[in-house]
Amino acid sequence: MNYRHIYHAGNFADVLKHVVLARLIRYMQKKDGGFRVLDTHAGIGLYDLSLEEAQKTGEWLDGIGKLMEADFGPQVSELLEPYLSAIRELNPEGGIRFYPGSPKLARMLFRPQDRLSAMELHPEDYVRLHRLFEGDHHARITELDGWLALGAHLPPKEKRGIVLVDPPFEEEDEYQRLAEGLEKAYRRFPGGTYCLWYPLKKGAPIKEFHETLQALDIPKMLCAELTVRSDRGITGLTGSGLVIVNPPFTLKDELHQLLPALKDHLAQDRFASHRAFWLRGENKAVKDD
């Protein structure tokens, strides 16, 4: 309840999460039928990077601030286009003042038949999120603990969906809670595509987290990680990861192109790295760089 994403909006972790979310949405849209995005920890939906909070940390400068004018090859540019075009649409005069959170980004990429369910527990943030989508019949905004949504709001009536779980990691047991939440949600909606975000930092129980996930009775789990700096002498965030359950068959190859490009542009020191690998399922991996 103390976490406020405005301090971190648009940082390198948001970039990885939102690039992959955009790819998942585009894949879902290859079929005519509608689908639902369930965002369990939605935040306020849209962030003004000119505000004091965002300027205080300046994290977006080392995230989205490095990408808008970057020179990518044609293949990577095509993969990034849904994400970057949404940001350009929010900033028609150029530059980067407004940055979309996950619910806003998803809504901007939707077709008429696609739907959003966004959960936010923080009272003030819920009010702002609700106001952002007020009158939008494609979006349902609920003041609710996102962990509860993994039971109460699944499966979606569309029977197709992306479930984004992006907790603030304020508590020490959040990695375990994330695994338990996935297990519960998967039992209710085994055909869904799940995207779970987690932080990388010194001392984080990543190995144990991965082993817990591997022990679940879930056939396909793809993992993508991006580290932008060394954790030597640093207690804060040095990278972030995503676990994608039931990933599109195209995603592994897309990560093979995207991760090296993101690492090259977002690296903060020479220790930056990336990796993508199967926790369960296929045994082929994208090598570290």
Residues at the annotated binding site for S-adenosyl-L-methionine? Answer: 18, 41, 102, 120, 145-146, 166
Clarify whether 166 is annotated catalytic.
Answer: yes
**Residue 117: helix, strand or coil by DSSP?**
strand
Measure the CA–CA gap between 277 and 178, rounded to whole angstroms.
19
Q: Which amino acid belongs to residue 203?
A: G
Counting Cβ atoms within 10 Å, is residue 12 exposed (0-12), middle (13-18) or buried (19+)? buried
Q: Among the options 14, 71, 166, 264, which is catalytic?
A: 166
Measure the CA–CA gap between 21 and 47, rounded to whole angstroms.
18
Q: Are 99 and 43 in contact (CB under 8 A)?
A: no
Question: DSSP letters along 210-227, please?
Answer: HHHHHTSS-S-EEEEEEE
| Beta-carbon contacts of residue 207 (< 8 Å; ≥ 6 apart) | none
Tokens at 199, concatenated? 């932080």
Residues marked active site are found at: 166
